[in-house]
Amino acid sequence: MILLNNFYDISEWTQEDNKVHAIIHIDPAHDIFKGHFPRQPVVPGVCMVQIVKEMMEQYSEKQLLFNKGHQIKFLQLLVPAKDDAIQVNISASEADGIYAVQADFKKNNEAVFKLSGTFKPL
């Protein structure tokens, strides 16, 4: 896991059947924000995709590769703040080793990111 316990932490994790609900906190002092962007930090989209990947690896207990992004939407800028809680919701179904995933991030109950795609084992 590249970003877990470095770029973000998980404070709550609930997993049932094919769904994961988590609360994460992004570190606004992380070095990545020195370049993205110095005066107005914004969570890079690739980091949001990586967070979903890492959570899917925790869910599936397998190392995964992001295989296809059918739809990826960045609905609002995700500006990190020290005590902000980001709600992450993931639903996944597995067929022939491929995980079809729907994920979203919400901040203050407003959607900021949505992903529909597939992950496959390495």
Q: State which residues form the domain around 95.
A: 8-121
Q: Is residue 3 part of a domain?
A: no
The total number of structural domains in the chain stands at 1
Q: Is residue 1 part of a domain?
A: no
Residue closest to 105 by CA, chosen among 93, 119, 90, 116:
90
CB 86 within 8 A of CB 78: yes
User: Which pLDDT score is estimated for 81?
Assistant: 87
Instruction: Render pLDDT for 18-46 as a digit per residue (tens, 0 to 9).
Output: 999 999 999 999 999 999 998 899 999 99
> Per the structure block, which two tokens stand in for 108?
């203050």
This prediction has a pTM of 0.96
Distance CA 64, CA 67 (A): 9
Q: Check pLDDT > 80 for residue 1.
A: no
CATH code of the domain in which 86 resides: 3.10.129.10
